[in-house]
C-alpha cells in the first residue's frame, strides 16, 4: 500500500491554493465580470482588472473568510463574491459581524444563513460603509 506522509502532502498545498485562487478569479470574471469595484485610485470592472490587481484582492478575501473559520471552498467563494458585490469591508457592519462570529452557526453555513436572514436595509448600509482601501492593495498595484 502506498502511504503519503504529511510533509509530502504539504508540498501540494501551495499548488492547490494557487489553483483555487485562479478558479475564484475565473468565477468572478465569468459570473460577475460586469460588476464595478471601487479601488483606492478609482474604479474598475472585474473582468478588466489585471491579474496582479485581482489576485491579491481574492487572496485577501479567502484569508478573511478563513479567519471566521470557513473551510469549504463553496463558503470561501461565497464570502469573496460577497466582498466584490457589496464592499471589501462588509464584515465590519455590526449585523454582518454578528453572523460571521456566531458560534451557534457552523462556520461554513454562516454566509448563506446571513444572506437568507439579513434584510435589504443592512446591505444598503454595507454599501454606504464601502472603503476602497480595505482591498489592501499595495500602492504599485493601485495604479496598474
Q: Strands, E, within the chain: which ranges?
A: 36-39, 42-45
Distance of alpha carbon 18 from alpha carbon 26, whole angstroms? 12
Q: 3-state class of 110 per DSSP?
A: helix
CA distances from 8 to 14, 58, 78 (A): 12, 27, 30
Cα–Cα distance between 69 and 12 in angstroms, integer? 22
pLDDT of residue 14: 78
pLDDT winner (highest mean) among 2-6, 12-16, 104-108, 134-138: 104-108
> Can you read off the three cell numbers belonging to residue 102?
456566531
Q: Flag whether pLDDT at 143 surpasses 90.
A: no
Residue 118 has pLDDT above 80, yes or no: yes
Global pTM reads 0.87
Q: Mean pLDDT throughout 85-106?
A: 97
Amino acid at each position: 500500500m502506498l502511504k503519503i506522509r504529511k510533509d509530502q502532502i504539504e508540498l501540494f498545498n501551495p499548488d492547490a491554493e494557487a489553483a483555487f485562487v485562479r478558479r475564484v478569479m475565473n468565477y468572478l470574471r465569468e459570473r460577475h465580470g460586469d460588476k464595478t469595484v471601487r479601488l483606492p485610485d478609482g474604479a474598475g470592472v472585474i473582468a478588466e482588472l489585471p491579474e496582479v490587481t485581482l489576485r491579491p484582492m481574492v487572496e485577501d478575501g479567502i484569508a478573511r473568510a478563513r479567519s471566521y473559520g470557513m473551510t469549504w471552498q463553496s463558503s470561501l467563494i461565497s464570502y469573496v463574491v460577497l466582498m466584490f458585490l457589496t464592499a471589501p469591508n462588509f464584515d465590519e457592519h455590526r449585523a454582518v459581524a454578528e453572523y460571521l462570529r456566531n458560534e451557534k452557526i457552523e462556520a461554513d453555513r454562516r454566509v448563506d444563513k446571513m444572506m437568507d436572514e439579513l434584510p435589504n436595509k443592512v446591505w444598503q448600509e454595507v454599501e454606504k460603509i464601502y472603503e476602497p482601501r480595505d482591498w489592501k492593495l499595495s500602492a504599485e498595484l493601485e495604479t496598474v
